[in-house]
A and B are shown apart, each in its own frame.
Chain A
Amino acid sequence: MPQVATPITIDAESANDPVLDRRPENRVWKKFRTHKSAMLGGVLVAFFVAIAILAPLLPIPDPTATDWGAVRQAPSAAHPFGTDEIGRDVLARMIWGAQASLLAGVVSVLIAVFMGVPLGIAAGYFGGWTDAVISRCTEALLAAPFLILAIALAAFLGPSLTNAMIAIGISATPLFVRLTRGQVLSVAAEDYVDSARAIGLPTHKILARYILPNILPPVLVQATLTIATAIIAEASLSFLGLGQQPPAPSWGSMLNTAKNFLNQAPWMALWPGIAIFLVVLGFNLLGDGLRDALDPREQ
């Protein structure tokens, strides 16, 4: 059948059409809402955030309370996820561990964003020596593999959850510098920025009003995806003993203990891994969905 161009008609229905709706916020939200995997990601993330926030209110045992009469017990009604090598309730430790994981993911990415974005803007907007210095430093930091850098920093700072977050944040900063710089370069070449300069708007106003809003979407996507990476990095550092310190619970350190009891108590290794997998999957799906929703080409 030959293709016939359909004449464009504006009817009541087109107002709800994501493509025809011209308000960008609505368009993005509508695209995002119909993106099944992104919504799944959102639900996963919301679930873990809720657990982490509600942890103190939930009717669960103290995550650090030991019970020598219930060592390495298989899942049962009293302990739905079983108990660990010193009789602590695994479910309670999982729930409190969600706090450590999410906190580490979000705080380290905030550190990276708040250091990386201003540096990237400075490099991209001012150019010249500022750009040269910032860009060379970024390249140098990017040359060290992410995890090696984080391990080295955590080792020099000393093992603790806070230091792990700082180490991961610093290691992730160059990603945001590079991304922001590239975005600023393309936005700063736009006509509307030229006109803003021509009417004599001061630099800080141009940056705040024209540059920043336009570079935020890709930064947001990158931040969401980096939270996923940061959660795995925190779990890795805690697994190596460089993150959350005992007896405070963390999924990574739970796995570290669990690997010594694979024969006797396999459930100890099962739950923390599934939890890390699900929360990381959630952030990855959310990030992918946001990218699709914010990308003007994907319509």
Chain B
Amino acid sequence: MLSFIVRRLLIAIPTIILISVFVFALQKLLPGDPVLAMAGEERDPATIAFLREKYRLNDPLPIQYFTWVGNALTGDLGISLRTNQPVLELIAEKLPVTIQLATMAMVFALAIGIPAGILSAIKKGTVADYVANVVALSGLSIPNFWLGIMLILLVSVKWQLLPASGYVPFDEDPLRSIQVMIMPAFVLGTALAATLMRHTRSAMLTVLTSDYVRTARAKGLSERRVILKHAFRNALTPIVTLSALLFGELIAGAVLTEQIFTVPGFGKLVVDAVFNRDYAVVQGIVLVTAVGFIAMNLLADVAYVLLNPRLRKS
């Protein structure tokens, strides 16, 4: 098992190096000279020369890249042009908000998607199955920012049940924090619930026709036991892997959700950075999400092996 993890970690290294090249290239592709923008109206040649020297823009590209990577490895992702804060500090400040949102969305998705998937597999071909499929496909097709707007319109504006925006840190007031976050988490979780439902359904359908399920039934076990103990446990493996993979998508999806509900998280940071042309922040975010994504992939692989005894032995 340990050698498997080490091997997977080694494979991840070239991927991370390539990502860093892409992220670095993004900055170089940028139209216009950043120094001219920084130097202001006068464009004093001395200032320009000083800035070029300061940001080491006179170095050849490969040297610039290695300087940048070296800094990134020590946690220095540059300084936000807008707030003058280190990029890493900004990310560390906003990330917990988004992780709370994504975790709550994941809870919604699992709580809706898995039971619905099991139900529609057991009741295959019935009205319940049909309804579950239609709802799942709709969940995949609804743009989640529109769903958010509609929920604000109904729940906040019309019925005045939940606040339309805002954020309360979890450690300050957990109950209030969850209450404020319920709507955005639901919106973010819908597409994932739909994906999970479809995968649970197909995994269950495969498992339900297998020999060991037939044996379990032949032994006279109750249907409930057959489904939960024998079938579902085996169908669970691909679902766990998928959930880990999709957690990364949740972080990305949070960009729009946070924008609508004005949640001060990672997504809001990306959008603000994009509009303020705060490229160091955009770069930092792409780099951090990509590395996080790779880490989730790794976890998914490990979970897959752990859950599958046949793979564990080899």
Contact = CB atoms under 8 A, between A and B. Distances in A.
Q: Are chains A and B native binding partners rather than an unrelated pairing?
A: yes
A177 to B, nearest CB: 14
Contacts of B149: 255, 258-259, 262, 269, 273
Contacts of B271: 151, 240
B153 interface: yes
A141 to B, nearest CB: 7
Nearest to A235: B143
B18 A140 contact: yes
Interface of A: 136-137, 139-141, 143-149, 151-153, 155-156, 158, 228, 232, 235-236, 239-242, 255, 258-259, 262-263, 266, 269-270, 272-273, 276-277, 280-281, 284-285, 288
B255 interface: yes
Contacts of A273: 142-143, 146-147, 149-150
B292 to A, nearest CB: 9
Given A232-B143, A241-B275, A136 B15 contact: yes
B31 A151 contact: no
B285 A148 contact: yes
A262 B146 CA distance: 12
Interface stretch (B168-176, B211-219, B244-252): B244-252
B279 to A, nearest CB: 7
Given A155-B274, A239-B145, A255-B146, A143 B15 contact: yes
Given A140-B19, A156-B29, A269 B253 contact: no
A240 B256 contact: yes
A256 B206 CA distance: 43
Given A145-B289, A228-B141, A236-B256, 11 more contacts: A143-B297, A144-B289, A148-B289, A152-B282, A152-B286, A153-B26, A156-B26, A156-B282, A236-B143, A239-B145, A240-B256
B150 A148 contact: no
B157 A263 contact: yes
B180 interface: no
A143 B19 contact: yes
Which label, helix, strand, loop or mixed, suits the secondary structure of the B interface?
A: helix
Contacts of A280: 141-143
Contacts, number: 126
A145 B245 CA distance: 10
A236 B282 contact: no
Contact of A155 (B141, B249, B282, B294): B282
Interface in B132-185: 137-138, 140-143, 145-147, 149-150, 152-153, 157
A190 B249 CA distance: 36
Nearest to B294: A143
27 contacts: A136-B14, A140-B15, A140-B16, A143-B290, A143-B293, A144-B286, A144-B293, A145-B248, A145-B249, A145-B251, A145-B289, A146-B249, A147-B253, A148-B289, A149-B286, A152-B274, A156-B282, A232-B143, A235-B143, A236-B255, A239-B145, A269-B149, A273-B143, A273-B149, A277-B141, A281-B138, A288-B137
Given A258-B149, A262-B149, A262-B157, A147 B255 contact: yes
Interface residues of B, number: 48
B146 A269 contact: yes
A140 B138 CA distance: 31
A273 B29 CA distance: 34
A158 B36 CA distance: 18
A276 B143 contact: yes
A151 B29 CA distance: 15
B14 to A, nearest CB: 5
Q: Of A148, A228, A266, which is in contact with the most chain B CB atoms at under 10 Å from its CB?
A: A148
B116 interface: no
A277 B138 CA distance: 8
Interface in B10-29: 14-16, 18-19, 22, 26-27, 29
Given A143-B294, A151-B274, A152-B286, A136 B18 contact: yes
Contacts of B285: 148, 152
A263 B149 CA distance: 11
B270 interface: yes
A156 to B, nearest CB: 5
B290 A144 contact: yes
Contact of B22 (A140, A258, A263): A140
Contacts of B249: 145-146
B260 interface: yes
A241 B270 CA distance: 13
A12 to B, nearest CB: 31
Contact of A285 (B18, B137, B270, B291): B137
Contacts of A259: 149, 152, 260
Interface in B227-256: 248-249, 251-253, 255-256
B256 A239 contact: yes
Contacts of A144: 19, 22, 286, 289-290, 293
A151 B269 CA distance: 12
B101 to A, nearest CB: 15
Contact of A240 (B14, B141, B259, B289): B259
Contacts of A232: 143
Interface string B259-274: 1100000000011001
Contacts of B157: 262-263
